[in-house]
Structure 1
Amino acid sequence: MVTGQPFQWPETVWRQQVDRVRAGRSLRPDRWPDGRQAAVALSFDSDHETIPLRDGEFSPCQLSQGEYGSRVGVPKILDLLSTYGIPATFFVPAVSALLHPADIDAYVRNGHEVALHGWIHERNTALPAGVERDLALRAADTLEQLAGTRPVGLRTPSWDFSADTLAVIRELGLRYDSSLMADDDPYEVVADGEPTGLVEIPVEWIRDDAPFFPRDPTRPSVPPRQVLTTWRDEFDAAYADGGLFQLTMHPHVIGHRSRFVALRQLVEYIAGHNVWFASHADVADWCLRQ
């Protein structure tokens, strides 16, 4: 445990903390499949009721906000993806999968990837030693049972790494993570100066719907068409650079009518370009082959 004030730390302390998990070599390929100009990886975190459950909130009102994700958001998302023939990645807490097994069936049936997102959307950095591992193993077993294949990727529930996270990833034999933010494009994760072989498909709060549309009614929500402009600009820059455009959404957030209009328009816009739509697993595998 690190003690004392940060300004009192010797260089060895802060350097050790910084070097625990870092960005290594870029894995952005020189080319994308079939001569595509850029890659697009759409993802949906199917948290549903797990956010209030994690916090011990049992109000039917709060739980209904999550239920909306499965009842309304997921069918609309699957229909949109089917219309454009887009494969996506659904990061699913195990409890959410157990509450909504029909969602998992629908993801698999429509050719989408099902990936790890914790057990009950727990805050992994607040867990006692060893608990994160136990929950991750249980979650992987649960998703394998429901989806028919073992997950190959992880997005930590709170976009954070504990002291145990990387060891858990390695024990599970995962090929990629999608929780860190050191680049716009895929890179190899380095731990204590050593390459790990793990592909990072980086996320960013700019490319996430939750900060723009918070659950907290006391926090202002951004107009959906303004979010659409931000995401289009993010895509345009990725396209011009020949890189990856990765987007994180939540069915219980993006599924609402005005917000879904923005998503539909974004997908229509992107589909008019020479892009490779791919799951996160497919992006990771392609980067590793180059």
Structure 2
Amino acid sequence: MSKAKVTVLGINGHIGRHAALAFRDAGYSVSGFGRINREPIDGVAFIKGDAGNVAEIVAAIADAEIVVNALNLPYDKWDKGRAEAQLANVIAAMGDSGKTMMFPGNVYNYAATDRYMRPDTPQRPQTPRGAIRVRQEATLAAASKAGKFQTIIIRAGDFYAPGNVGDWFDQAMLMDAGKGKVYYMADLGVGHAWAYLPDLGRAFVAVAEQRQRLGGFETFHFAGHYQSHRAMLAAIQAAAPVPLKAAQLPWLLFQALGLAVPLLREIVKMRYLWNNPMELVDPRLEAILGPDFGTPFTAAVAAATIPFLAKKAA
């Protein structure tokens, strides 16, 4: 039996790219939607289009049974209803199709005091950005409970992967690697939720293959690698071909620069995520994925670190 067709909206984004790779490698027919084909993927058809145009989204997903909605606005452009409007376009394009929408969630929905974040943990966002994500998920829940389409949310921690550009891993921790320095984000003993994107992409596939057994609206939490800042620092230093001196990220400098740079101002608002141990937990997803699903932590960090440092050196 042939596998379902998949369209990834936001093929140039990090989760979009890795979801496309994972579905392709699992034998699915995959298309990717975006304004430009920034990094063509062998075996993935590119569909040029604008996420602000509902008709173009409709055309892109017309023959897809699974739609991975990996669209995301720049970090400082979520407010003024813009993030909700982008999602509303996709919901309008999905219509009453009965298709499956897969949506990557994050931890912004929860409070700093939520030591363990389970799918049934009450959502108490403590930032405007978190409130936006809660509203988006509520909108998806309403549409799916009305029978329009199935929604599957997979929530994960901070991304890292080989070749990634623009995540905390490369933009913060390794931003001065060329100067022989690596930053840690908070007190070394505090844990943090990380998601190695090749593993997360495969998790999307594993859950998609169970979609016919799932309800109209489902939320899963991808545990990924929950590690202390000390462990992440040590793994990076062990993988690096040259010594890297450790220092704490200069948050006060970021805060000062944020007075003039909106992006940095928004980044500083999310500091609480690094200062508090917030772990994603989901036995149901673990059962779907099975034992020994993910890449071992040190191997994953090395796979992300080594090419980044090689590029820096070049």
TM-score greater than 0.5 by the shorter chain: no
Higher relative contact order (Cα pairs below 8 Å, separated by 6+ residues) = 1
Structure with greater helix percent: 1
TM-score (norm 1): 0.31
